[in-house]
Structure 1
C-alpha cells in the first residue's frame, strides 16, 4: 500500500512539474505579442509579391487561431478586427465554389456566429454548401484528373473544408452536413492515408516517392490534417459512429507524432526525415502542439509522455518568437518539405501558434 501511495505522489508531482514549466500568464503574454504583431503586419507580402487577399486560405488559417485568442483576450479588439473582415467581404467565402482552400474562411464565420448569433454571418456559407450537396463534384481524386481539386485530393484540404461542414452540423443540428463531409473525408483518407505509417501523403504525386530513402510525409500538410481532426471532433457527439471514425485516425496519428518529435521539440518538415531536414518549421509543429494538447485537455491522450511532448513543443515554438512578436521558421507557401529560416514568417504560422497557445493555456490551469 505504501509503495502504491509513493508511486501516486510521484506521478502527481511529475504532473505538477510539467504544469509549472509553463505559466498561464506567460502564455497569454506571448499570444498577445504575436497576435498584435500580426495584425500590424497583415498587409506584408510574405510568400508572394503582394499581400494575401483577406479571404485567402493563408489568412483563413490565421483567423482560426485569432478567434481562439479573441475568446481568451478579455478585449473586444480582436473580435472586432475579425468581424470587420467579415463585414467588408459580406460574409462570403472566397472565389472558387468547390475548392477547399476557399471554404476555409468559413471557420472564422462560424466562430463569430457562435459569439454574436447574427444569421448573416453564415447565410452565404449555408447557401454555397447547399449547392455543393446538390451538385457534388464527380471528378476522380487522381492528381491529373480534370478539375481534380474540386474534391479533397490533397491533405491540406482536410483542414480547410471539413471542419466548416462540422461547424454547420454542430450549429444547425442538420445531419446532411456531417453525412456529406464524412463521405468525402473517407474517400480522401482511403486515397492518401498510409496505413503503415499512420500519416497522410500530401497528394497522389508523393505516393511511392522516396527522399533520401524515406517516404515523404510533409510536416505542415500533416499538421493541417491533425489540427482539423481536433476541430472536427470538437463538433461531434462522443460515442457516435462518426466520432469514432475520426477518433481512430486521431489516435493513430497521435501515437506516430509522439514518436517523431525531435529532441529540440519541433517536428521535421519531412516527418520521417529528421536527419535530412534538421531546420525547425513552426507552422506544422504548432498545429501538432495544438492537436496533442487538445487531446490531453479532452481526456483522450493520457499519460505523462504526452504532457512532456507538448511542454517541450510549446517551449520550442515560443523560443522562435522574436522580440517584436514575429514567429520565425515558418515555411513559405508550398506543397512539400523545403526551407525555413528565423527571419521568415507567414500568417498561417501565426494562426497555428495561437491555436496551440489556446490549448496550452487551458492545460496549465489558465481560466
Structure 2
C-alpha cells in the first residue's frame, strides 16, 4: 500500500508563497486605477512637503516637479476628472507659462512637456509662447561647448544621461505641433552626439556622464538605474511624437530595443532593478523610480507592438507587482532614491515627486495593457 506522507511545514509555506506570487501577478485594470488614484492624491496633498534632502519643497518649475507633472498628466487622462487638469493648469498660470531659470540647461526645459500637452488640450497660444521663444533663441545661438564633464558650460548641452528625458521630448513635441523641421534637426544633431558619447555598445546602457566611464564599483561598470530610466522613458516620449516610418523614429527605436532586451536580462528575481544595474549583489535594496521607468517603457513597447508580449509580459507583471508592494496604505511610494547621480541608498519611508511621476507613467501603460 502506498503511504501518503503529510506535507512538512516548509513545503506548505512554499506552496502558499508560490500561490501568493501567482495571485499577486493577476493584474486587474480597476486595481491599477485605484492604486494610481491613491498615489496621485497623496502626492498632491503632500506637494508642499520638504524634499528628500530635507530642504524646502522644490521650485514648481524645477525638474523633480516636472517629472511629477508628466505622470499626473497621464493619470488625468485615465481618471477623466477635470480637477487634475485644473491643478496642472494652475501650475502654468501661476508661473506665466515660463520655463525655469537657465536658458540652455535641459533640467529647466522639462516643464515645457506639461505646457505643450496642456496646449494640445486647451489650444491657448499663451501656454507655449515662452517655450517657442526660448527654443528659437537656442536654435539661433546653439551652445558650442564640449560634452566632456566639468569643462566650461558643459551642461549647456546634453552631456549627462538624465538630460535625455528632460529636453529632447520638448523638441520632438514642438516639431510635431508646429511641423517645423528645424526642431527635429536640432533634436537629432544633439541627441546623436550624446549617444555617441555616453552609450556603451557592449552593455546597451548609458553612463550617467563622462566621469563614470573609468570608475568601477566592486569591479563592475557603473550604470545608474534611474539615469538609464530617464533615458528609457525619454525615448518613449520622443517616439510618441514621430512618424513610425521615418528614419528618425527608427534611430530611436534601435536604441530602445537594445536597452529593452538588456533590461530584461538585468531585472532582479524580486522584480525591481538594482540601483547599479550590473551590481545586484551589492545593491539589494529595491529602488522604485528607475524601476517605474523600466516598467513604463517595457509596457509601452508591448502596447505599441514594438516588444513581444510573450517575452516581456512576465517582467512587466513582476515589476508592477513589486512597485505596488512599496506603496503605503496612505498612498506614498517608498524606496525612491533621493536626488543624486549614482547608485546609493533608498528607504521604505522616503519618497520623491519624480518617483511618483514615474510610477504614474508606469501605471498608465499597465492599465492600458490589461484594459485591452
Scaled by the length of structure 1, what TM-score is found? 0.94
RMSD: 1.3
Residue 180 of structure 2: which of 174, 194, 197 is its match? 174
1:28 aligned residue: 33
Check the 8 A contact 1:109/1:121 in 2, yes or no: yes
How many pairs does the alignment contain? 350
1:41 aligned residue: 46
Q: In 2, Cα distance between the equivalents of 1:109 and 1:27?
A: 27
Q: How does 1:178-257 map to 2 (within 5 A)?
A: 178-257=184-263
Q: In 1, Cα distance between the equivalents of 2:104 and 2:371?
A: 41
**Partner deviation per Cα, 1:45-86 (whole Å, 9 max, x = no partner):** 122311100000000000000000001112111100000000
The alpha-carbon deviation at position 19 of structure 1 amounts to 12
Q: How does 1:269-348 map to 2 (within 5 A)?
A: 269-348=275-354
**Partner deviation per Cα, 1:122-169 (whole Å, 9 max, x = no partner):** 110000000000000000001121000000000000000000111111
1:12 aligned residue: none
Q: In 1, Cα distance between the equivalents of 2:129 and 2:309?
A: 43
Q: In 2, Cα distance between the equivalents of 1:166 and 1:125?
A: 13
The alpha-carbon deviation at position 111 of structure 1 amounts to 1.3
Check the 8 A contact 1:221/1:335 in 2, yes or no: yes
Q: Which runs of 5+ in 1 are unaligned?
A: 1-16
The alpha-carbon deviation at position 110 of structure 1 amounts to 1.2
SS of 1:340's equivalent in the other structure is coil
1:93 aligned residue: 99
1:69 aligned residue: 75
Residue 66 of structure 2: which of 60, 85, 88 is its match? 60
1:9 aligned residue: none
Change (3 A) 1:122 1:347: same
Q: In 2, Cα distance between the equivalents of 1:82 and 1:50?
A: 20
1:107 aligned residue: 113
Q: Which runs of 5+ in 2 are unaligned?
A: 1-21
Q: In 2, Cα distance between the equivalents of 1:21 and 1:305?
A: 17
Q: In 2, Cα distance between the equivalents of 1:207 and 1:238?
A: 33
**Partner deviation per Cα, 1:282-306 (whole Å, 9 max, x = no partner):** 0000000000000000000014120
**Partner deviation per Cα, 1:12-54 (whole Å, 9 max, x = no partner):** xxxxx99981100001100000000000000111223111000
The alpha-carbon deviation at position 365 of structure 1 amounts to 1.2
Residue 139 of structure 1: which of 119, 140, 145 is its match? 145
1:10 aligned residue: none
Check the 8 A contact 1:19/1:364 in 2, yes or no: no
Q: In 2, Cα distance between the equivalents of 1:173 and 1:297?
A: 26
Displaced runs of 4 or more, over 4 A: 17-20
The alpha-carbon deviation at position 171 of structure 1 amounts to 1.0
Corresponding position: 1:268 with 2:282: no
Larger Rg: 2
The alpha-carbon deviation at position 206 of structure 1 amounts to 0.2
The alpha-carbon deviation at position 322 of structure 1 amounts to 0.1
